[in-house]
Amino acid sequence: MAGNDSRYYETFYGVHLDDWTVDWGTFADHHKFLTEEYLSDGCSCATSSSATNTHKFLYPEHLKKDYFIEGTIKGHVTFAASGATSYICAYRVTVCKMHEDTTDSELFTTGWRTVNKTLTWDSTYDIGEEIVFPFRIDAWEKEHLTEYERFYLKVESTCSDNSGCSSCTDSECDDTVLWHSNDATWQDIKIEIPFLL
């Protein structure tokens, strides 16, 4: 019925804070977070991480004692070359839940998205090509979260020599980074999540 939709949309940004950590479930001494707004540009933050690692951006606070995720999740992630021409073969974005007993569940995912992109490096100006991948995830089977659980964003990627999605060598992957700078101008990692409160 019209007017009875209590859906609430919140936008989050992924940042890596050097001087603030949290311990929650299996997140020990954890630095990557989802925030509702960017922090002071004076904060000590890491701007990027190796793209081949699995990155988990935790929302560490309570939204409410009892709530649901339902609707369409949308956002984008940003990758770049760093130090040399690099590659990104595929990526996957997943919204996950950390349970009170420290187990976790994947709630909603893009699945693996094959992109096969070469990212060039300009050695004259020491700057790498960036690419932004937008995503949308249907979250029509609502997921319940409680005060004893937390949600987080997981970003994974693979890289190769652009000949397909085969396994890559360490040297091919070393120069691809996931951007997560604390900078509202670029909004490297952005996600909008629909909640039923």
Domain borders along the chain are 7-36+43-196
CA dihedral angle for residue 14, residue 16, residue 21, residue 25, rounded to 10 degrees: 50
Least Cα distance to 108 among 119, 90, 123, 96 occurs for 96
Instruction: Quick: pLDDT tens for 13-51.
Output: 999 998 877 777 677 778 899 999 998 888 889 999 998
In the chain, what percentage of residues exceed pLDDT 70? 89
Q: Per this entry, what is the length of the chain?
A: 197
Question: Residue 174 gets which letter from DSSP?
Answer: T
- In CATH terms, the fold of domain 7-36+43-196 is Jelly Rolls (2.60.120)
Backbone φ and ψ of 173, nearest 5°: -90, -20
Per-residue model confidence (pLDDT) at position 173: 61
Instruction: Quick: pLDDT tens for 69-106.
Output: 999 999 999 999 998 888 888 999 999 998 888 888 99
The more confidently predicted of residues 163 and 193 is 193
Mean pLDDT of 58-79: 92
- Read off the pTM: 0.89
